[in-house]
Structure 1
Amino acid sequence: MSTTEIPGPGGRVERPWGWYESLASGEHYLVKRLLIRRGQRLSLQRHQHRCEHWVVVAGDGQLQVADELIAAAAGTSVFIPQGALHRASGGHGDLEIVEVQRGEWLSENDIERLADDFGRI
């Protein structure tokens, strides 16, 4: 199994909350851009095989890492340790995040959802 599984050319993957696209990948890292639509949110999730670093590049909303809630605006940055619960929510406008994943296995299959607005548990 490869260390990364990323979309092919064109790269944008639509999700019920918005979309993501892969920007770069290499040995044990993957960089994505996520857009969480106004009023939408990612599932409450964790990963067993990777950590993530989120940098908000545009918009507003809220980030949750473990039990901490963080107001999100351009420039906000959070580190999500491997195994930590986390979620991002769009606010009054769309929320745009650059996500850097690091780990031995980088796959959408490494998402454990604990709560989801779209029934994907």
Structure 2
Amino acid sequence: MKKIDAFIRPEKLEEIKAHLQELHLNGLSVSQVMGFGKQKGWKEYVRGTEIDYNFLPKVKLEIVAADEQVENIVSKICEVAYTGSVGDGKIFVSEVLDAVRIRTREKGMDAIK
């Protein structure tokens, strides 16, 4: 099992969700987050004072999937999230050692199906 953390532009969320539903995912978590990378944010002047907004709104998708699904999921997110501009986002893939469904105590892949 792998965990996919994808940080994307907020305006791409609905389109990405629609495409990911075609892949029959077992689940998806979405969080609104703030951060920066190369994009760095922006500066504004308010009443003559410079204000540095160095955190930008992003959406974080969290998906736990079977190893064989990961490449398709990552490819689909990249395809839909791409604009060609700085700030398109990042995807991190990490190993999941185990999963447990609390209600039934199922473990591993049975817990995420």
* TM-score between the two structures when normalised by the length of structure 2: 0.32
Higher RCO (CA-CA < 8 Å; seq separation 6+): 2
Higher strand share: 1
Larger radius of gyration between Structure 1 and Structure 2 = 2
What TM-score do you get using the length of structure 1 for normalisation? 0.30
**Bigger fraction of residues in helix:** 2
